[in-house]
A = this chain, B = another copy of it.
Amino acid sequence: MTASRPGPNLSRIATSLGVSVATVSNALSGKGRVSGQLVERIREHAAELGYVPSQAGRALRTGRSGVLGLVLPDIANPLFPKIAQAIEFAASAAGYGVLIADSRGDVAAQTEAINRLVERGVDGMVVIPRRATRISSAACPVAVIDTPSTPGNTVAADHWQGGHEIAGHLAGLGHRRILIIGNNQESNVQNDRAGGIRSGMRPGMHSETLWIDRLEQENGSGCPLGLAEKVGQGFTAFAALSDLQALRALTELQQAGINIPTDVSVTGFDDLIWSPVVTPSLTTVRMDMDSIAGIAVSALVDTIRTSSIREGVLVTAEIERVAMQLIVRQSSGPANPAPRTSEMENM
Instruction: Spell out A's residues near B (CB within 8 Å).
Output: 2-6, 52, 54-57, 59-67, 70, 75-78, 80-82, 84-85, 88-89, 92, 97-102, 104, 116-117, 119-121, 139, 221-222, 224, 244, 247-248, 250-252, 254-255, 259-260, 273-274, 276-281, 308-310
Decide: A82 and B76 in contact? CB cutoff 8 A: yes
In the complex, what residue of chain B is closest to A96 when comparing beta carbons?
A: B120
> Closest CB-CB distance, A6 to chain B, in whole Å?
6
CB-CB < 8 A to A92: which residues of B? 101, 116
Known contacts A81-B81, A85-B104, A277-B248: A3-B76 contact under CB 8 Å: no
In the complex, what residue of chain B is closest to A76 when comparing beta carbons?
A: B81
- Supply 15 further A-B pairs (C-beta < 8 A) apart from A99-B99, A247-B274: A2-B61, A2-B63, A5-B63, A55-B59, A59-B60, A76-B85, A80-B84, A84-B84, A88-B102, A92-B116, A97-B99, A97-B116, A98-B100, A99-B100, A274-B274
- With the chains together, A254 CA to B278 CA distance in Å? 10
Decide: A60 and B64 in contact? CB cutoff 8 A: no
**Of the residues B57, B251, B309, contact of A60 by C-beta under 8 Å:** B57
Known contacts A85-B102, A102-B88: A244-B277 contact under CB 8 Å: yes
- With the chains together, A61 CA to B66 CA distance in Å? 18
> Closest CB-CB distance, A288 to chain B, in whole Å?
15
Decide: A56 and B65 in contact? CB cutoff 8 A: yes
Decide: B67 and A4 in contact? CB cutoff 8 A: no
CB-CB < 8 A to A224: which residues of B? 279
Can you sample 30 A-B contacts with CB below 8 Å? A3-B63, A3-B308, A4-B63, A5-B121, A6-B139, A6-B310, A52-B119, A54-B121, A56-B60, A57-B60, A70-B100, A75-B85, A76-B85, A80-B81, A80-B84, A84-B100, A88-B101, A89-B102, A97-B116, A97-B120, A100-B100, A222-B276, A222-B277, A244-B273, A244-B274, A247-B277, A247-B278, A251-B278, A255-B279, A274-B274
In the complex, what residue of chain B is closest to A3 when comparing beta carbons?
A: B63
